[in-house]
Amino acid sequence: MATRRVTFRLYPTSLVNQKLHYHRKLHKDLWNAAVYNRKTQYQKLGHSVNYYEQQNSLPEFKQTWVEYQDVNSQALQATLKRVDLAFQRFFNGLGKYPKFKSARKYKGWTYPAISGWKAHTTGKHGYLELSKIGQIQMRGEARLWGQPTTCTIMFKNRKWYASITVEVDNVLLKKSRRTKVSNVIAIDMGCLDALTTAWIDEEETEITGYAQVIAPKFLRKTEAKIKKLSKEKRRKRAPSFKKKIKASKRWKKAVLRVGKLQTKAANQRQDWIHQVTKRISFRHGTVVTEALNVKNMTKKAKKGSKRKRQKTGLNKSILDVGIGKFLQTLEYKLKEAGGVYVELPTKSVKPSQTCPKCGTQKKKELSERVHQCDDCGYIQHRDKAACEVMLSWAFNNLSGCGTHLVSADGHSSTSSTHVRKDTGSMKQLSQMKRQKHYSMGEVAETPPSTR
């Protein structure tokens, strides 16, 4: 079993389109009410509201605001969960304090379980049925289709999308599509838009080749264009609710232009990731890479630390490049092709600090691009040296293809369950005891901003 996400473009009729926008606004108002609730409870009473308090107050909230009775309650819970995630991000130093959102900026909502929606499709086109909203034509094609589990409705750049996660049973590709099975490749993920690889072919003992993959130029061009266009946008008259200024037509046009380009850049990046990971997964049987703990790397710097600014900048670039996304894609593609994905324990091996020839460990600064060993005098490019360490670790620990397949598979299956957690399912939440003592208080007093 594996989880896959498929995005379909939606083509609603004008009546359904209105209803979709109406629901989007209801979710937006709920978001704002929940943020207000947390903010005022903390400011006035010093009480930090948690997710369960808000979830348990939903039934009462619906009695006051009857229009919410027509909205799928699990979808409402999912919106509250989003608020909770935003606050968690803030508490962990990953984001700013959650904002009140305008209808223009609010993207959509999620059905975290199978109620409230139904996808009538076998993976290619078809239509989506949303309760209280209607039927919507959708276009799109899944690489693999299975049992739909969650559905997210999004409004981006004046277009509607449905992002559906599916449980797929059999993901193995036909064996004939693979070329080489028993060679090993090591990948060192750079912090920039580049990664270095080194591999050893079948029946060889020395490293067969190195390669550096750099993000394509057109991607950088698109990103440069985005910068330029958003600068132009900032010169135009933006709307301001406080100053009672309406947006100018030019500003609105500029917003659309920037949004379009951002979508383009995201698509280009995703496409590039798919191309590179496909190539790697078809040519190599085993992939060894550092277990990059993106969560750890993006943890906030300690309070009062001088590096705080610096670290925030680093966090941004790590998340931007989408290393996590790359590794995730690589892992599932490799599994589909029958390969093995191995993450080496960074803490005990330390590829970037170890000499591949003699094993001496010495710390390097991030700016040091060349590995130079004091003990044996070995000189090598920093990333290539890291790859060499990974390969030798792999050959010492995983030697004998027959046995390592089992152990490595056991290793990777734990991380696949980890991936499953991120589908936004509310199953775990319902297992928690419901707390009933919380009275409505602030939420009911907060009028959802008028439509």
- Token pair of 298 as six digits: 């993006």
Could you tell me the smallest distance in angstroms from the CB atom of residue 353 to Zn ion?
12
Nearer of residues 255 and 355 to Zn ion, judged by Cβ: 355
**Residue type at position 337:** A
Nearer of residues 127 and 378 to Zn ion, judged by Cβ: 378
Nearer of residues 158 and 363 to Zn ion, judged by Cβ: 363
Nearer of residues 59 and 359 to Zn ion, judged by Cβ: 359
Nearer of residues 245 and 376 to Zn ion, judged by Cβ: 376
End-to-end CA distance of the chain: 44
Could you tell me the smallest distance in angstroms from the CB atom of residue 385 to Zn ion?
10
Distances from the Cα of 445 to the Cαs of 34, 349, 411, 450, in angstroms? 11, 56, 51, 14
Closest listed residue to residue 448, CA positions, set 32, 22, 98: 32
Could you tell me the smallest distance in angstroms from the CB atom of residue 359 to Zn ion?
7
- Compute the distance between CA of residue 419 and CA of residue 356 in angstroms, rounded to an integer: 32
Rg (CA), the chain: 25
Give the pairing of strands 286-290 and 340-344.
Answer: parallel
Could you tell me the smallest distance in angstroms from the CB atom of residue 295 to Zn ion?
32
CB atoms closer than 10 angstroms to residue 73: 15
User: Look-up: residue for tokens 């004008």?
Assistant: 14
Could you tell me the smallest distance in angstroms from the CB atom of residue 206 to Zn ion?
17
- Compute the distance between CA of residue 391 and CA of residue 372 in angstroms, rounded to an integer: 19
Nearer of residues 261 and 373 to Zn ion, judged by Cβ: 373
Nearer of residues 245 and 358 to Zn ion, judged by Cβ: 358
- Compute the distance between CA of residue 296 and CA of residue 133 in angstroms, rounded to an integer: 41
CB atoms closer than 10 angstroms to residue 330: 21
User: Look-up: residue for tokens 């449980």?
Assistant: 167
Nearer of residues 232 and 375 to Zn ion, judged by Cβ: 375
Could you tell me the smallest distance in angstroms from the CB atom of residue 391 to Zn ion?
16
Partners of 340 in the β-ladder: 286
Nearer of residues 129 and 375 to Zn ion, judged by Cβ: 375
Residues within the interface to Zn ion (CB under 5 A): 355, 357-358, 360, 373, 375-376, 378
Could you tell me the smallest distance in angstroms from the CB atom of residue 379 to Zn ion?
10
Could you tell me the smallest distance in angstroms from the CB atom of residue 351 to Zn ion?
14
CB–CB of 387/380 below 8 Å? no
Distances from the Cα of 319 to the Cαs of 42, 190, 298, in angstroms? 30, 13, 8
Could you tell me the smallest distance in angstroms from the CB atom of residue 388 to Zn ion?
11
DSSP tag of 70: G
109: Cα within 13 Å, side-chain hemisphere:
28
